[in-house]
């Protein structure tokens, strides 16, 4: 156990764990919302994320013409480029997520197929997207240009408040707050919650289930797209199979927090990010995943529905 | 138009009808013929009328053992877990890995032979099935899924990090199984390995059918249909779920032992999450709960990427497309199960 | 009607026979022969970058040879083994069964090599590998060696490891090493078996970590490195993972030396790592191909392969292919003849040095590992490491 690291780097690890965890949280919102309405693990979400990162990359390099050697810009211009990339990524991911719903799930839902069939169908979509991108990129990673200079606001107790770290914390929190208000206050949001609780009753209440489901996928796509933008801008690279590990982490976060539950996804993501950072630092990066899963098992042993999950409803195959 | 046609014609039901109509002798002859034909598959590559089965670049007879035969065997094992008792296991590769590493360690470090390692491999896989099952089976549906996924990853990462499992390089120099009935098990005789796998498949099929008509089978069916009702009716759901888990694990472990003894060198990257997903896809593709469907489905899904190698780059992409199209067209799988298993009819076999 | 058909068939049959006789006439000594070489490596799957970087080297070498219109043409067979031992275990027997394949450029990955050996050894098929630098492949004491059919044109890591430890410490009076590997069959043995002993002799190892490939966030690693007070960080792995790691280290305030092995030493690396690449010290048993080619040659390479910048190990793939080409030119057209030629011959590498293969497959020039440093976005040769 490497305890000396904790002494000097504690706040730094905490800050970074928070930042990483919030990226996970945004993606896990996509998983958890879809699960809420469909009781399905949306396996293809990881590839939606991957395509969001490439969209961001495309915007920055092709549309705005940034190369690796382009001098960095500041001020309003920078903000314009960033916002455009963010919106593009969110848009593409939302559209893609809705397409996934149509291709992988809709027909199966109409036929009353088992959830496993939908799962395999989603896996098929995931494979197709991943392989296609692999062929296009030749398997090589792509680097994003440095738009966000790693300029620091300042350090407190070893924790470096760099602008990208701050962005990765502030943006997801803002998005989450907006989303929560939307889900609790707006009509569509309430419909989504209704369908999550009971599809049967919602139908009886005259809610258009298909519309709600499409909207859910759309929202999940929006948050995933935002996460993709943040990821590309902060880590400055992406590769065709980046979605795989991130997807599993985000899904684990959703389960950890209590799947089907927005708050659960949010805090689950944060928890996961923190566990990953501290486990890596204390025990070693090679044991990171195992620690995460063990933590998950322990939490689920005491709280079978996750940290914030309500009592699990009847889940049929 | 074709939709309605498919609804009224269920291949499996039709097959079951035909089967029920035969007497014991006819059934035995049919079974022997079928098994005989399958046993001849490794030679089909060399016989001109069936040489279209040959896989480009890879060796057809070896492909039949892994992935085709192995996936069919493991799909049968996973089918017990997913199909019979409705538990979503996303980490089945863990049992495969445990069997393989057990064989590797016992034969390279302690000079056991494969046949001696086989029961140990199966036993260890079963133990790990219990270890995984006890905490996990209290959970429902997708919580179980993520725990099993985690378990699969944990086994792989442990194998990657420990010295005794050889780290990233794995364990080389695993001996082939010793001769049995004059059959030599080595590189030149992949068909002998295929026959071992085939024997295991037949054993598992026989075992599953025995269970199905007895209490375990009925308990599993009850749990699969509605777990709460089953519990109310006095079925000890935890014990039966654990049973299906452990039996499924045993099958995976057996497959792992044979695999290690054939491939001679194993490494952690052979036991990653993709394999778990592939096996699950085989089960769903073939028809959850249906033994024949699962075997046929696994054979097709395992064989297809190798056969279409001439497409080179886009091979896996086509595989993904096949999954999507197949699920959309036939969501219940190639040979979907009957809605209600007819117990009395099966008592005769 | 029938008569017409019959007579038509008769004419056709006669014509075919006549043509057939002419075609197989022994008098046509100018008949071209074709032999095949197989490339075994990852062309699909998670590691496709590796194979796709190498195969242009093979394609270009074969094209340069075939366009001279030789008596014996060489055809390439692509055997995709996905850098997976289990796939290789099926691919190798298939390749071995194709009798027209007389040699294998491969494998790219050490795991593939180990699982291919049984089939290739039984078939007497010679391998010349462009990468696959795991030490056990040519170690007489290991069960997993490829003797006598396995050869490679890269120095194995038992040479590169110590060189890397030395080169990164040059100019440093009290080296404090932090060693990171990527848990791959390449990176982990390089660091743990080969770099570590020399690092212990030259200085102290203040920390180690094993970070799986495709990790995106390195904050905890950066934290540990900073806390350890290391002044040298050595990464055993590939450029795609080294780049974000080095970036994270620099962004996190690490000011010491960064070093990597030949997996990092690619033309892509400076682009991937941006400003963090500056000053990075690299060793190479293989070098970026572009540094060895003239502008005209590079243009030809691009024309033939469609690749603008040759990737990792394209150079060694080219050298490996030319080993076979040289033997084929010398008249070795059977597997036995190829094996004989390869084990005994003297060959020229892409950097114009000559070498032979040692008994267990390593190249004789193995001991010379080059030290390279990144200056202004370009990888430049510095000195012998």
Evaluated on CA atoms C220, C221, C222, C228, the torsion sign reads positive
Q: Compute CA distances A214 → A98, A293, B267, whole Å.
A: 6, 32, 43
For chain C, which chains pass the contact test of at least 3 CB pairs under 8 Å? A, B
Task: Please check the confidence at residue C19 and state whether its pLDDT lies above 50.
Answer: no
B109 touches chain C (CB under 8 A): no
- Judging contacts by C-beta atoms under 8 Å, the chain C residues touching residue A244 are 214
Q: Is residue B280 part of a domain?
A: no
A244 touches chain C (CB under 8 A): yes
Evaluated on CA atoms C26, C29, C30, C32, the torsion sign reads positive
pLDDT for res C186: 86
Interface probe, candidates B55, B57, B107, B173, chain C, greatest C C-beta count within 10 A: B57
pLDDT for res B228: 80
- State the average pLDDT over residues B241-251: 91
Task: Please check the confidence at residue B15 and state whether its pLDDT lies above 80.
Answer: no
Structural domain total, chain A: 1
Residue C346: pLDDT band by 50, 70, 90 thresholds? very high
Angle, to 10 degrees, between the axis of helix A3-38 and the axis of helix A45-58?
Answer: 110
Q: How far is B108 from chain C (nearest CA, A)?
A: 10
Q: Is residue B194 part of a domain?
A: yes
What's the CATH code of the domain at A257? 1.10.3470
Q: Report whether A39 contacts A235 (CB < 8 A).
A: no
pLDDT digits (tens, 9 = 90+) for A195-245: 888 888 888 888 888 889 999 999 999 999 999 999 998 888 899 989 988
- Judging contacts by C-beta atoms under 8 Å, the chain B residues touching residue A103 are 324
User: CA B92, CA B147: separation in Å to the nearest integer?
Assistant: 11
Q: What DSSP state is assigned to residue C142?
A: -
Q: How far is C47 from chain A (nearest CA, A)?
A: 7
Tally Cβ neighbours within 10 Å of residue C259: 27
Q: Report whether C190 contacts C180 (CB < 8 A).
A: no
Of C227, C247, C273, the CB nearest to A5: C227
Least confident interval from A253-267, B140-154, C21-35: C21-35
User: CA B118, CA B258: separation in Å to the nearest integer?
Assistant: 8
Residue B304: pLDDT band by 50, 70, 90 thresholds? confident
B317 touches chain A (CB under 8 A): yes
Interface probe, candidates B141, B156, B300, B337, chain A, greatest A C-beta count within 10 A: B141
Q: Is residue B234 part of a domain?
A: yes
Q: What is the per-residue DSSP string for B210-238?
A: HHHHSHHHHHHHHHHH-HHHHHHTT--HH
- Judging contacts by C-beta atoms under 8 Å, the chain A residues touching residue B228 are 314
Entry field: residues in chain A: 317
Q: How far is B63 from chain A (nearest CA, A)?
A: 22
C97 touches chain B (CB under 8 A): yes
- Judging contacts by C-beta atoms under 8 Å, the chain B residues touching residue A307 are none
Q: Is residue A22 part of a domain?
A: yes
User: CA B100, CA C297: separation in Å to the nearest integer?
Assistant: 49
User: CA B287, CA B187: separation in Å to the nearest integer?
Assistant: 34
Q: Report whether A18 contacts A212 (CB < 8 A).
A: no
User: CA B180, CA C84: separation in Å to the nearest integer?
Assistant: 30
Structural domain total, chain B: 1
Q: Report whether B266 contacts B82 (CB < 8 A).
A: no
Quote the tokens at residue C176. 């404090």
pLDDT for res C30: 47
- Judging contacts by C-beta atoms under 8 Å, the chain B residues touching residue C84 are 269-270
- State the average pLDDT over residues C245-249: 93
Q: Which residue of A has its CA nearest to B147?
A: A297
Quote the tokens at residue C246. 């080095």
User: CA A83, CA C371: separation in Å to the nearest integer?
Assistant: 43
In whole numbers, what is the pLDDT of chain B averaged over residues?
Answer: 85
Backbone angles phi, psi at C66, to 5 degrees: -65, -30
Task: Please check the confidence at residue B65 and state whether its pLDDT lies above 70.
Answer: yes
Residues sharing a CB contact under 8 Å with residue C318, sequence separation 6 or more, in sequence order: C57, C58, C60, C61, C289, C350
Q: Can you tell me which residue has the tokens 């999450």?
A: B273
- State the average pLDDT over residues C109-122: 91
Q: What is the per-residue DSSP string for C245-288?
A: HHHHHHHTT--SEEEE-TTT-STTHHHHHGGGGTT-EEEESS--
CA C11 from centre of chain: 55
What was the ipTM of the complex prediction?
0.86
Quote the tokens at residue B337. 């199960």
Chain B residues 177-216 with a CB less than 8 Å from chain C: 187-188, 190
Q: List the domain range (segments joined by +) for residue B241.
A: 61-272
Q: Could you give the maximum distance between any two Cα atoms of chain A, in Å? A: 60
Entry field: residues in chain C: 385
Radius of gyration of the CA atoms of chain C, in A? 24
- State the average pLDDT over residues C357-378: 85
Q: Is residue A4 part of a domain?
A: no
Residues sharing a CB contact under 8 Å with residue C32, sequence separation 6 or more, in sequence order: C71, C72, C73
pLDDT digits (tens, 9 = 90+) for B163-213: 999 998 899 889 999 988 888 888 888 889 999 999 999 999 999 888 877
User: CA C267, CA A317: separation in Å to the nearest integer?
Assistant: 51
User: CA C246, CA C238: separation in Å to the nearest integer?
Assistant: 12
Q: List the domain range (segments joined by +) for residue A18.
A: 9-302
Q: Is residue A315 part of a domain?
A: no
Element (H, E) at C347: strand C346-348
Task: Please check the confidence at residue B43 and state whether its pLDDT lies above 60.
Answer: yes
Domains of chain C listed by start with CATH number: 33-155+291-352 (3.40.50.2300), 158-284+369-384 (3.40.50.2300)
User: CA B335, CA B128: separation in Å to the nearest integer?
Assistant: 31
pLDDT for res B312: 66
Residues sharing a CB contact under 8 Å with residue A139, sequence separation 6 or more, in sequence order: A240, C46, C47, C48, C49, C50, C52
Q: Is residue B141 part of a domain?
A: yes
Evaluated on CA atoms B31, B36, B39, B40, the torsion sign reads negative
pLDDT digits (tens, 9 = 90+) for B268-303: 989 998 899 889 989 988 888 888 889 999 999 898
pLDDT for res A157: 75
- State the average pLDDT over residues C38-46: 89
- State the average pLDDT over residues C56-60: 96
Q: Can you tell me which residue has the tokens 């090589």?
A: A140
User: CA C244, CA C222: separation in Å to the nearest integer?
Assistant: 11
Strands A142-143 and A237-238, sheet pairing? antiparallel
Chain C residues 44-73 with a CB less than 8 Å from chain B: 44-45
Interchain CB distance below 8 Å, B147 and A296: yes
Partners of C233 in beta bridges: C178, C258
Q: Is residue A312 part of a domain?
A: no
Of A16, A246, A285, the CB nearest to C210: A285
- Judging contacts by C-beta atoms under 8 Å, the chain C residues touching residue A131 are 44
Q: What is the per-residue DSSP string for chain A?
A: --HHHHHHHHHHHHHHHHHHHHHHHHHHHHHHHHHHHH----TTHHHHHHHHHHHHHHIIIIIS---TTSPP--HHHHHHHHHHHHHHHHHHHHHHHHHHIIIIIIHHHHTT--HHHHHHHHHHHHHHHHHHHHHHHTT--EEPP--S---EEEEETTEEEEHHHHHHHHHHHHHHHHHHHHHHHSHHHHHHHHHHH-HHHHHHTT--HHHHHHHHHHHHHHHHHHHHHHHHHHH-EE-TTHHHHHHHHHHHHHHHH-TT-HHHHHHHHHHHHHHHHHHHHHT-GGGHHHHHHHHHHHHHHH-TT-SS--SPPP---
- State the average pLDDT over residues B120-141: 88
Q: What percent of chain B has pLDDT over 70?
A: 91
Of A5, A150, A276, the CB nearest to C223: A5
Quote the tokens at residue B96. 């495969």
Geometric angle at alpha carbon B177, from B172 and B182, rounded to 5°:
150
User: CA B120, CA B105: separation in Å to the nearest integer?
Assistant: 11
- State the average pLDDT over residues C102-121: 92
Residues sharing a CB contact under 8 Å with residue C364, sequence separation 6 or more, in sequence order: C355, C356, C357, C358
User: CA B328, CA A307: separation in Å to the nearest integer?
Assistant: 35
Number of B/C CB contacts below 8 angstroms equals: 103
Q: Is residue B264 part of a domain?
A: yes
Q: Is residue A208 part of a domain?
A: yes
User: CA C264, CA C239: separation in Å to the nearest integer?
Assistant: 4
In whole numbers, what is the pLDDT of chain C averaged over residues?
Answer: 87
pTM over 0.90: no
Element (H, E) at B141: helix B141-161
pLDDT for res A98: 94
Q: Which residue of C has its CA nearest to B309?
A: C80
Q: Which residues of chain A have pLDDT under 70?
A: 1-2, 310-317
Quote the tokens at residue B3. 């939709």
pLDDT for res A310: 63
Q: Which residue of A has its CA nearest to B138?
A: A304
Q: Is residue B300 part of a domain?
A: no
Partners of C104 in beta bridges: C38, C127
Interchain CB distance below 8 Å, C48 and A139: yes
Task: Please check the confidence at residue B5 and state whether its pLDDT lies above 60.
Answer: no
Interchain CB distance below 8 Å, B313 and C142: no
User: CA B276, CA B248: separation in Å to the nearest integer?
Assistant: 13
Chain B residues 88-117 with a CB less than 8 Å from chain A: 88
- State the average pLDDT over residues B333-339: 73
Geometric angle at alpha carbon A121, from A117 and A126, rounded to 5°:
145
Q: Is residue A185 part of a domain?
A: yes
Entry field: residues in chain B: 349
């Amino acid at each position: 156990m490497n305890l000396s690291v904790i002494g000097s780097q504690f706040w730094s690890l905490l800050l970074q764990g928070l930042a990483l965890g919030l990226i996970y949280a945004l993606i896990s919102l996509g998983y958890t919302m879809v699960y809420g309405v469909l009781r399905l693990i949306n396996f293809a979400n990881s590839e939606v994320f991957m395509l969001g990162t490439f969209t961001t990359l495309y915007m920055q390099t092709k549309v705005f013409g940034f190369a690796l050697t382009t001098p960095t810009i500041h001020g309003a211009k920078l903000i314009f480029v960033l916002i455009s990339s963010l919106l593009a990524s969110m848009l593409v991911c939302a559209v893609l997520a809705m397409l996934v719903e149509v291709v992988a799930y809709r027909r199966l839902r109409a036929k009353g197929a088992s959830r496993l069939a939908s799962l395999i169908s989603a896996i098929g979509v995931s494979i197709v997207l991943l392989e296609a991108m692999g062929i296009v990129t030749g398997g090589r990673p792509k680097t994003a240009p440095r738009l966000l200079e790693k300029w620091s606001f300042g350090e407190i107790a070893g924790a470096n408040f760099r602008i990208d770290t701050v962005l990765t914390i502030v943006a997801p929190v803002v998005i989450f707050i907006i989303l929560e208000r939307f889900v609790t206050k707006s009509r569509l949001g309430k419909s989504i919650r209704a369908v999550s609780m009971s599809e049967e009753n919602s139908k009886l209440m005259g809610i258009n289930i298909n519309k709600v489901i499409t909207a859910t996928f759309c929202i999940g796509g929006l948050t995933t797209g935002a996460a993709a933008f943040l990821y590309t801008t902060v880590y400055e690279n992406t590769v065709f199979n980046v979605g795989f590990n991130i997807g599993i982490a985000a899904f684990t976060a959703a389960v950890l927090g209590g799947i089907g539950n927005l708050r659960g996804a949010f805090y689950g993501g944060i928890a996961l990010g923190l566990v990953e950072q501290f486990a890596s630092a204390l025990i070693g990066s090679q044991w990171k995943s195992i620690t995460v899963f063990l933590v998950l098992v322990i939490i689920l042993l005491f709280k079978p529905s996750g940290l914030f999950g309500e009592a699990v409803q009847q889940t049929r195959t | 138009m074709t939709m309605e046609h498919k609804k009224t014609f269920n291949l499996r039901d039709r097959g079951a009808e035909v089967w029920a109509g035969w007497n014991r002798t006819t059934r035995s002859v049919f079974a022997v013929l079928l098994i005989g034909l399958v046993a001849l598959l490794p030679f089909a590559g060399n016989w001109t009328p069936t040489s279209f089965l040959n896989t480009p670049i890879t060796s057809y007879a070896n492909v039949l053992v892994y992935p085709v035969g192995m996936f069919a065997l493991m799909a049968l094992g996973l089918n017990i877990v997913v199909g019979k008792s409705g538990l979503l296991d996303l980490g089945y590769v863990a049992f495969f890995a445990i069997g393989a590493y057990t064989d590797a360690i016992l034969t390279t470090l302690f000079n056991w032979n494969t046949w001696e390692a086989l029961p140990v491999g199966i036993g260890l896989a079963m133990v790990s099935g219990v270890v995984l099952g006890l905490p996990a089976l209290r959970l429902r549906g997708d919580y179980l899924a993520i725990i099993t996924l985690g378990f699969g990853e944990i086994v792989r990462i442990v194998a990657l990090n420990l010295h005794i499992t050889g780290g990233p390089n794995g364990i080389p120099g695993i001996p082939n199984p010793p001769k049995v009935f004059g059959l030599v098990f080595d590189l030149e005789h992949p068909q002998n390995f295929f026959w071992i796998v085939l024997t295991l498949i037949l054993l598992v099929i026989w075992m599953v059918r025995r269970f199905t008509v007895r209490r375990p089978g009925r308990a599993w069916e009850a749990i699969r249909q509605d777990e709460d009702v089953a519990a109310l009716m006095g079925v000890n759901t935890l014990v039966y779920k654990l049973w299906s888990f452990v039996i499924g694990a045993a099958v995976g472990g057996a497959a792992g032992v044979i695999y290690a003894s054939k491939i001679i060198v194993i490494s952690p990257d052979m036991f990653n999450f993709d394999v778990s997903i592939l096996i699950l896809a085989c089960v769903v593709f073939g028809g959850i709960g249906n033994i024949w469907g699962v075997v046929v489905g696994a054979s097709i899904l395992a064989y297809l990427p190798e056969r279409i190698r001439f497409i080179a780059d886009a091979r896996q992409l086509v595989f993904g497309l096949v999954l999507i199209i197949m699920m959309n067209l036939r969501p219940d799988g190639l040979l979907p199960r009957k809605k209600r298993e007819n117990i009395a009819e099966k008592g005769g076999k | 009607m029938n008569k017409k058909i019959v007579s038509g068939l008769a004419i056709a049959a006669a014509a075919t026979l006549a043509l057939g006789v002419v075609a197989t006439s022994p008098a046509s000594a100018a008949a071209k022969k074709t032999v095949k070489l197989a490339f075994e490596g990852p062309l699909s799957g998670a590691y496709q970058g590796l194979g796709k970087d190498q195969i242009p080297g093979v394609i270009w070498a074969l094209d340069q040879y075939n366009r001279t219109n030789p008596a014996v043409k060489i055809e390439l067979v692509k055997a995709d083994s996905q850098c997976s031992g289990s796939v290789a275990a099926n691919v190798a027997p298939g390749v071995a069964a194709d009798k027209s394949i007389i040699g294998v450029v491969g494998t790219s990955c050490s795991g593939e090599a180990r699982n291919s050996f049984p089939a290739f050894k039984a078939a007497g098929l010679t391998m010349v590998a462009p990468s696959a630098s795991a030490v056990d492949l040519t170690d007489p004491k290991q069960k997993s060696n490829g003797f006598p059919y396995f050869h490679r044109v890269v120095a194995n890591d038992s040479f590169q490891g110590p060189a890397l430890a030395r080169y990164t410490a040059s100019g440093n009076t009290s080296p404090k090493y932090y060693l990171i590997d990527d848990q791959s069959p390449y990176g982990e043995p390089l660091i743990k078996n080969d770099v570590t002993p020399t690092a212990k002799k030259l200085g102290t190892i203040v920390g180690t970590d094993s970070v799986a490939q495709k990790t995106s966030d390195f904050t905890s690693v950066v934290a540990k490195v900073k806390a350890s007070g290391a002044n040298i960080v050595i990464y055993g792995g590939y450029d795609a993972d080294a780049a974000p790691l080095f970036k994270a280290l620099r962004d996190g305030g690490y000011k010491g030396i960064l070093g990597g092995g030949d997996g990092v030493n690619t033309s892509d690396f400076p682009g991937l790592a941006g400003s963090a690449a500056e000053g990075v010290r690299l060793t190479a048993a293989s070098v970026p191909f572009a540094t060895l080619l003239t502008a005209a040659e590079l243009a030809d390479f691009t024309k033939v392969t469609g690749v603008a910048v040759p990737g990792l190990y394209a150079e060694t793939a080219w050298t490996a292919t030319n080993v076979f080409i040289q033997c084929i030119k010398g008249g070795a057209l059977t597997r036995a003849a190829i094996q004989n030629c390869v084990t005994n011959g003297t060959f020229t590498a892409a950097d114009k040095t000559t070498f032979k293969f040692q008994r267990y497959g390593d190249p004789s020039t193995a001991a010379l590992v080059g030290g390279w440093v990144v200056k202004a976005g370009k990888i430049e040769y510095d000195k012998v490491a």
